[in-house]
Amino acid sequence: MKKCSPLAAALCAAALIGLPVFAHASGDQTAAARPAEPAQSSTTTGTVTAGGQTIQYTAVAGILTVGATDPEDAQLGADGKPQPGSELASQFAAAKTVSDQPPLAHIFYVAYFKKEADAEHRPITFLYNGGPGSSTVWLHMGAFGPKRVDTDDMDTHLPPAPYRLKDNENSLLDVSDLVFIDMPGTGFGRLTGKNAGKAFWGINEDGHAFARFIQRFLTQYNRWNSPKYIFGESYGTTRSAVLSNLLENNYNIDLNGVILLSQIFNFTTDIDEPQFNPGVDLAYELALPTYAATAMYHKKIPQQPLQPFLQQVEAFAIGPYEQALEKGTDLSQTEKQAVADKLHEYTGLPVDYLMRGNLRISGPEFEKTLQQDTDTTTGRLDTRFSGPTIDPLSEGAQYDPQSSAISSAYVSLFNQYVRDTLHYGDGQTYLPEANYPDFTWNFMRHGFPEMNVAPNLAMAMKTNPKLKVMVNGGYYDLATPFFAAQYEDKHLPIETRLAANIQYHWYESGHMVYVKTSALKQLHDNVVAFIKSTE
């Protein structure tokens, strides 16, 4: 629903619709599927009590249009149309159909501004989800918007509609104006023009599109001198690494802070499909603490205080476990048995299963096997969730119980909220995901696949040594394990002194930390403290 398997998401569509890894985004879609001129904006007002403050705000739901290159983007007016007399205008005039025009991304956003606030001193935060291929309905309606889907702290499938929307006392409007941005081609946004997918669907193309959006937004709302933050979740953290570097070094926009939730920088450590990367065992090691937390949550191992236990598992993961896996076929049977016994102690998985798996259990295998005694599949995005196993004889999990449990509530309530409250979208279809037939994601950069974007964030931190980074994650997230995020950030190619600019926060929740109300409160308070310390 929000994040595809990272290795298969070296083209996200590989997990969604089985397309090949590293394929380039290509082709157009019909003009009917991508209307040339979406409605521009709708402005409403509202009130929310957040962080103990009663905040009156103005909400703007609308479209900002960006070009596929910086020169083309510079020839667009504020209305998203080519400026008269420009080369771009001539190209549009010469095009016989919309599909012949230069590519444009009409990006949907919802912005919330605190009334009567001093723009120069009022922070502004740009938020987006991941995928790649996801809209930002999840962060908007689950985390920091003024309204929130009520998930009742459940770890099972929600009851069917009617769902409940409630005021969000943990909205970030107490400290920052908010801009929720849908990825090009999702939400009410559409792509138009020739080869539009290829122009905007890719690690580099997407980063530039978001940078151009932010540049245009700062101009349209006169926020150039405001404290600025970017907040990405899941693949949105990948985007943030690329985007922070672009903003700092291509667009001359210094950021006050980069906020990361459920981080993934290095796609070669994917625990969803590590079997396709033999010889690189880091994925198994970094997922082990999440396996252990999950096993204890589902009472497959003895109960004990969580954090001290996980510290013990982490030490084993990058110590004896790592050393054993590095030996490969030189590992003796006695050594293998000892490691399997320890893995059983930490995960509850059968020793013979661990031995047959050569001490290497992928995420889908763990999700399928942990509760197989009751034909129950464990969640991926949030391993606290469970659901009936589809095929008891399958090798791995065939769906994600957490995604199935809550997606309908988020999508249904947003569709009602955006039309009834924000007065936008009548007669239009909101696309929570970019499930187009030709959707592919280009991970190629300079002729090579860019499978690790850590150097991008490192460059941003080096060229702006005052840039602060906040890393957040859930103990029960098997899509982007928290220990993997910590490992990535502690191995950024930066000077030791810059490592002090990074702070870490872990929560007893999953990929969507905010699904659990108490974790959302902690996340809100931590982000508030981060913004106040850096604005």
**DSSP characters over 70-81:** HHHHHTB-TTSS
Q: Which long-range CB contacts under 8 A does 518-521 form with residues at least 24 apart?
A: 518/153, 519/474, 520/143, 520/170, 521/170
* CB of 197 closer than 8 Å to CB of 27: yes
**Is the pLDDT reported for residue 170 higher than 60?**
yes
Task: State the CATH number of the domain containing residue 117.
Answer: 3.40.50.1820
User: Can you give the pLDDT at residue 39?
Assistant: 58
Could you give the CA distance from residue 505 to residue 497 in angstroms, rounded to a whole number?
Answer: 20
Among 352, 373, 402, the domain boundary falls at: 402
257 and 385 fall within a common domain: no
Average of per-residue pLDDT values in the chain: 92
pLDDT(20) > 70: no
| Beta strands 444-445; 190-192: pairing state | unpaired
Q: 200 in the Ramachandran plot: left (φ > 0), alpha (ψ -120 to 50) or beta?
A: alpha
Our separate counts of H helices and E strands in the chain read 18, 16
298 in the same domain as 365: yes
111: Cβ contacts below 8 Å, ≥ 6 apart: 59, 60, 62, 177, 178, 179, 180, 217, 221
Q: Range of 51's domain?
A: 8-268+407-534
Q: Residue 1 domain-assigned? A: no
CB hemisphere CA count around 102 (13 angstroms):
21
Quick one: 256 and 325 in the same domain?
Answer: no
Please check the confidence at residue 459 and state whether its pLDDT lies above 70: yes
Last residue of a domain, one of 402, 432, 458: 402
Cα separation, 387 vs 399, whole angstroms? 9
Fill in the DSSP letter of residue 187. Answer: B
Residue 128 belongs to some domain of the structure: yes
The pLDDT of residue 29 is above 80: no
pLDDT in tens, 480-500: 999 999 999 999 999 999 999
Mean pLDDT of 212-228: 97
What is residue 2's predicted lDDT score, i.e. its pLDDT? Answer: 45
Three-state secondary structure of 270-321:
CCCCHHHCCCCCHHHHHHHHHHHHHHHHCCCCCCCCHHHHHHHHHHHHHHHH
- Total domains in the fold of the chain: 2
391 and 426 share a domain? no
Residues 414 and 467 occupy one common structural domain: yes
Are residues 325 and 212 part of one domain?
A: no
Please write the tens of the pLDDT for every residue from 357-416.
Answer: 999 999 999 999 999 999 999 999 999 999 999 999 999 999 999 999 999 999 999 999
426 and 493 share one domain? yes
Report if pTM > 0.85: yes
> Lowest-confidence range among 21-35, 224-238, 492-506?
21-35
SS3 (DSSP) at 104:
strand
Tell me: do 257 and 279 sit in the same domain: no
Q: Which of helix, strand or coil describes residue 226?
A: coil
In a domain, 61, yes or no: yes
| pLDDT for 261 beyond 60 | yes
Query: What's the pLDDT score for residue 25?
Result: 32
Position 445 scores a pLDDT of: 79
pLDDT category, 151, cuts 50, 70, 90? confident
C-alpha of 378 from chain center: 21
Q: Does residue 420 share a domain with residue 378?
A: no
Domain check: are 224 and 77 in the same one? Answer: yes
Is 458 inside a domain boundary?
yes
Mean pLDDT, rounded, for 77-98: 94
Asked whether residue 330 is assigned to any structural domain, the reply reads: yes
**Residue 357 phi, psi dihedral angles, 5° rounding:** -85, 5
Burial 230-268 (b: 16+ CB within 10 A, else e): bbbbbbbbbbbbbbbbbbbeebebebbbbbbbbbbbbbe
Do 346 and 295 reside in the same domain of the chain?
yes
Quick one: average pLDDT of 339-359? 98
Q: Tell me whether residue 214 is exposed, middle or buried, using C-beta atoms within 10 angstroms of its C-beta: 0 to 12, 13 to 18, 19 or more.
A: buried
Determine, yes or no, domain membership for 3: no
Residue percentage of the chain with pLDDT more than 70 = 93
Domain annotation covers residue 464: yes
CA distance 17 to 12: 9
Mean pLDDT on 167-191: 97
Whether residues 440 and 321 fall in one domain? no
Is 200 a residue whose pLDDT tops 90? yes
Q: Does 2 map to a domain?
A: no
Among 352, 369, 402, give the residue marking a domain's end.
Answer: 402
